[in-house]
Amino acid sequence: MVTIYDVAKKTGYSITTVSRALNNYSDVSEKTKKVIVKTAEEMGYFPNSFARSLTMKKSFTLGVIFVEDLGVGMKHPFFSAVIEDFKRRVEKFGYDLIFINRYIGNEKKSYIDHAYYRGVDGIIVVCSNYDDPEVVKLIESPLPSVVLNVHTDKTNVVYSNNGHACELVMDHLFSLGHTKIAHIAGASDTFTGKERVNGYKLALDKYDIPFKDTYIVDGGYFSYEGGYEAMNRLLALDEVPTAVFASGDIMAMGAIKAIKDAGLTVPDDVSIVGFDDIELAKHITPSLTTIRQNTELIGKKAADLLINQINNKDEDYSAVMLPVELIVRESTQDITNKE
C-alpha cells in the first residue's frame, strides 16, 4: 500500500502539504496541488480510511440494523427496497453502509456497543418490534439515528400515513358496496399493526358500520402463514366478511390462498386488499389491490434526515409522514349489483 509518506517523498513536499493538497484545501498553491494530485494518482495512492477515521472521529459509515424478530433480515421485500433507496441516497454523500448485529467477535453485545465499536456516524433502524429494550436503548442514545415506520420523539422517524391509507382502503371497499369488512391485523406490538387497526376502526365509524370483535383477527408478524390462518378464522365465522383488509401484502397473499383452499374465489366471494405494494403484488393472480408505500421517498427522506442530524448535532428530531397511494387491481370487486 502506498501511503501519504510515499507521495511526500516522491514529490519532495511534507506530508502536511500532501494531505492538504489531496483534500483540496485552499491554502496550497495551485501548482504544488497539481503536482501532488498527479503523483498520487500515478502511484495509485489511496487514503486509509482507518487512519482517517481515527484522527477525524468520523467514519463516513452508517449502520443498518434489521431487528430479526421475523428472521427474514434483508430478505424482507419492503425493507430491502427501502434500504436500497436509502443506500443510493447516502452514497451520494460519501457514506457507506455497514450491517450492525448484536455480536462483536463471538461475544453477544448490544447494538449500541457494536455501533460504537464500528464507529458509525449514524444508524438506520428497520424492524417491526420496537419494544425490544435493545432497540429502545439505541433510539434513546445520542448516536444520530432514524427509524422507519414507527413514531417516537426520541429520534428521527419517517413513516407512511397509515391513517390516510386505511381511509383510502375503506373508502374503496365501501364504494364497492362492502360493509362486512374484516381486518387481518399485524402484531399488536408493532407500530404499523396498531396504527392500521386504528385506521380500520375509525373508517368503520365514519361509515357508521358497527364494529365487530370477530372481524379483527391477528395475523402475527405480517407473515404468509399468519395471513393464511387468520383468513381461515374469518371463513369459519357465521357471517363471513365480503371484504378483508390485510395489514400487509404477504398476509394478504396468505389470505387469498386460504380462500382458494376453501373452494372460494377472490374477488368473487371475498375481496382482498393488502398493504405495501411489494414487487409481487401486481404479479400474483388475482393481482392485488393494495396501498403503495413510496419506498423510494422513504429511503431518500430517511437518508436526508440522518445526514442532516449528523451534520448538525443540535438539530431537533424530525418526524416525516409520507403520502400513500391506493393501487386498485383485480382482488377487489364491486358487489352493489350482486345477488
Partner DNA sequence: CTGAAAGCGCTTACAG
- Give the interface with DNA as residue ranges (CB under 7 A): 1, 3-5, 12-17, 19-20, 22-23, 26-32, 45-48, 51-52, 54-56
Judged by beta carbon, residue 88 or residue 206, the one nearer a copy of itself is 88
C-alpha cell at 247: 395489514
SS3 195: helix
* Shortest distance, position 45 Cβ to DNA, whole Å: 7
The partner in contact with residue 98, picked from a copy of itself, DNA, none with C-beta cut-offs of 5 to 8 angstroms by kind, is a copy of itself
Q: Does residue number 100 form part of the binding site for a copy of itself (CB under 8 A)? A: yes
Select from DNA, a copy of itself, none the partner in contact with residue 77, using the beta carbon and a kind-dependent cut-off of 5 to 8 Å: a copy of itself
Q: How far is the CB of 116 from DNA (least distance, A)?
A: 10
Q: Where are the beta strands (DSSP E) in the chain?
A: 61-66, 96-99, 103-104, 107-108, 122-126, 145-148, 156-160, 181-185, 216-218, 243-246, 271-273, 290-293, 319-322, 324-327
103-111, 124-132, 158-166, 191-199 -> range binding a copy of itself (CB under 8 A)? 103-111
Q: Which is nearer to DNA, 16 or 214 (CB)?
A: 16
> CB within 8 A of 38, min separation 6: which ones?
none
Does position 319 interact with a copy of itself (CB under 8 A)? The reply is no
- Angle, helix 4-11 to helix 30-43, in steps of 10 degrees: 120
Q: Work out whether 125 is an interface residue with a copy of itself (CB under 8 A).
A: no
CA angle, 335 then 338 then 339, to 5° = 140
Cell representation of residue 272: 382482498
Comparing CB distances to DNA, the nearer of 60 and 224 is 60
Task: Report long-range pairs for 28-31 (Cβ below 8 Å, ≥24 apart).
Answer: none
Buried b (16+ CB within 10 A) or exposed e, 220-249: bbbbbebbbbbbbebbeeeebbbbbbbbbb
211 binds, among a copy of itself, DNA, none (CB under 5 to 8 A by kind): none
- List contacts with a copy of itself (CB under 8 A): 1, 46-51, 53-54, 59-61, 72-75, 77, 80-81, 83-84, 87-88, 91-92, 94, 96-101, 103-106, 113, 116-119, 224, 253-254, 257, 260, 279-280, 283-285
